[in-house]
Structure 1
Amino acid sequence: MFGMIPFTREENSLWNYLDNMEKSLFTGFGDMSQFRCDIQDKGDHYLLEAELPGFQKEDISLDLNGDTMVITARHNSEKEEKGEGNYLRRERKYGSYSRSFNVSGINTEGIKAAYTNGILEITLPKQAEVAPAARTIQIEG
């Protein structure tokens, strides 16, 4: 755990400086990551499950634009800034996270979504396969 205690006794040396720089470099990449999703094939539909802990249902939007579905989740920092007290350490991040998915081959009119216990479940019904029409071709000549 990097710097879990806000007040530490560290020597002011070049090695500690380089070690702290390396820790902040690698933990910084984790902050830019997107939320995790699982997609299952359930036969007649796909089930997409997105991990969005700490969000309210009102903070999440699901938008369709052509063959692209975008899930966006926003943490509102204005709510938290009204709290009282001086922070010694603040690690929770505020901002928005989004992911886009290709939904070609999906019946977009039948998409359903539910949000329970930090998991967004989206049911994506598959489009019915269109069988090619059979016909007889006349031979000329």
Structure 2
Amino acid sequence: MAMLPALMNDTMFSDLFDDPFFEGWRTAANNGSMTASPMNMMSTDVRETDKGYDVDIDMPGFNKDDINLELNNGYLTVSARKDENSGDKDTDGKWIRRERYVGTCSRSFYVGDQIKESDIHACYNNGTLCIELPKIEAKPQVESKHQIAIEG
């Protein structure tokens, strides 16, 4: 039986697993996929402008076709899916370690029920999803006066 170099076996970096930074790393590596919360995967900045809001969401490693935007009942949901079968394929060997994210993530933002799909503009550039949302001015409640007739 051939001996694998230390770089290739399961004990690679085993001394680092005592460090809290690598907590859960061995378990994820054994599962074959990494899991992360949407909050960690989709860091979001929201900036108010004169016309509306600019929302920038970090989504590195995803392709434009992996990302979906959906507006439903006043909620804008951003979701992304990264398949295990996409990306680099290795037909001449087996994976020794895969640490890139595989799975789905999503976040929802309440944008109001007055916003329509056509009001929202989005583009994906260099791993960042940029969404432009208009400001919807709140309509003041106008109380109209009505004359009430007095009977009798």
TM-score (normalised: structure 2): 0.68
Q: 2:60 aligns with which of 53, 59, 66?
A: 53
Q: Distance in 2 between matches of 1:10 and 1:83?
A: 24
How many matched pairs? 133
Q: Distance in 1 between matches of 2:27 and 2:43?
A: 17
Residues 32-78 of structure 1 deviation map (CA, whole Å, 9 limit, x = unaligned): 22211111111320111000111111110000111111101111212
Residues 122, 27 of structure 1: CA spacing in aligned structure 2 closer, same or farther, 3 A cutoff?
farther
CA contact (8 A) 2:47 2:53 kept: yes
Residue 75 (1) aligns with residue 82 (2): yes
Q: Distance in 1 between matches of 2:59 and 2:12?
A: 36
Q: CA deviation at 1:105?
A: 6.4
Q: 1:89 aligns with which of 77, 92, 97?
A: 97
Residue 33 (1) aligns with residue 37 (2): yes
Q: Distance in 2 between matches of 1:91 and 1:115?
A: 24
Residue 98 (1) aligns with residue 102 (2): no
Q: Distance in 2 between matches of 1:27 and 1:90?
A: 11
Residues 131, 53 of structure 1: CA spacing in aligned structure 2 closer, same or farther, 3 A cutoff?
same
Percent of residue pairs bearing the same amino acid type? 30
Matched with 1:110 is: 119
CA contact (8 A) 1:50 1:121 kept: yes
Unaligned runs of 5+ in 1: none
Q: Distance in 1 between matches of 2:76 and 2:54?
A: 14
Q: CA RMSD in A?
A: 3.5
Residues 38, 20 of structure 1: CA spacing in aligned structure 2 closer, same or farther, 3 A cutoff?
closer
